[in-house]
Chains A and B, each alone.
Chain A
Amino acid sequence: AQSVAQPEDQVNVAEGNPLTVKCTYSVSGNPYLFWYVQYPNRGLQFLLKYITGDNLVKGSYGFEAEFNKSQTSFHLKKPSALVSDSALYFCAVERGDDKIIFGKGTRLHILP
């Protein structure tokens, strides 16, 4: 069965430092992977996706994600964190028929 895991409930990073939000997945076949961000009392916003091709995917707001097939991971990264990056981040994997499974989310705190 398709599944996705975000092992950290919360990540704290100082402003200006690089950030990583971890995601691992379990799928049969080639995975379609997504990252979304949610600000308080708002819906989710799409950041980036991996379908095929380059293992490093670039997305919105300076975020990127690295697909690693051998480690079944799709970690979200940003070289220099901003306070405005503080939000709830969701990793997701496609489970067939255009349906998506979401991880439980990781709350990112950027400390000024």
Chain B
Amino acid sequence: DGGITQSPKYLFRKEGQNVTLSCEQNLNHDAMYWYRQDPGQGLRLIYYSQIVNDFQKGDIAEGYSVSREKKESFPLTVTSAQKNPTAFYLCASSIQTGTGNQPQHFGDGTRLSIL
């Protein structure tokens, strides 16, 4: 079955540590996205990528970094510069049409906590 796989499901970060969240999709989608979900705040866009080897900052990119070396993969690194990383992180993908009328498909998230 096609879908998006996020790993790990739970992750703990120590002070001063960088951690990387994995996101893999086999839907052959061009566009991929990373969101942060906090209670009562909905989803906020961290980074997005519309094509391999290219990505753009979203609304809350500070303290995060990404790469897009393969179409299927869009890993997110939460750096030590992100002072409040505790959240639920969601990866999504969509068909790239340029019209904005395609829904996004989501993984089941990674819950990151501070040790």
| Interface positions of A (Cβ within 8 A of B) | 9, 32, 34, 36, 41-46, 49, 51, 90, 94-100, 102-105
Contact B100 A9 (CB under 8 A): no
Complex partner residue of A99 from B4, B42, B45, B103, CB under 8 angstroms: B45
The answer for the CA separation of A97 and B31 in the assembled complex, in Å, is 10
Q: Mark B24-46, 1 if CB is under 8 A from A, else 0.
A: 00000001010100001111010
Q: In the assembled complex, how far is the CB of residue B26 from the closest CB belonging to chain A, in whole angstroms?
A: 15
Measured CB to CB, the nearest residue on chain A to B102 is: A98
Contacts of A96 in B (CB 8 A): 100
The answer for the CA separation of A99 and B106 in the assembled complex, in Å, is 14
Interface range on chain B (Cβ under 8 Å from partner): 20 to 34
The answer for the CA separation of A67 and B35 in the assembled complex, in Å, is 27
Contacts of A103 in B (CB 8 A): 42
B40-81 residues with Cβ-Cβ distance < 8 A to A are 40-43, 45, 48, 50, 58
The answer for the CA separation of A51 and B102 in the assembled complex, in Å, is 9
Contacts A/B (CB < 8 Å), 12 sampled: A36-B103, A36-B106, A42-B109, A43-B4, A43-B107, A45-B106, A90-B42, A98-B94, A98-B99, A99-B45, A99-B58, A104-B41
Complex partner residue of B109 from A32, A41, A49, A102, CB under 8 angstroms: A41
Measured CB to CB, the nearest residue on chain A to B111 is: A41
Measured CB to CB, the nearest residue on chain B to A52 is: B101
The answer for the CA separation of A49 and B105 in the assembled complex, in Å, is 13
Q: B90 contacts the other chain (Cβ, under 8 Å)?
A: yes
Contact B100 A97 (CB under 8 A): yes
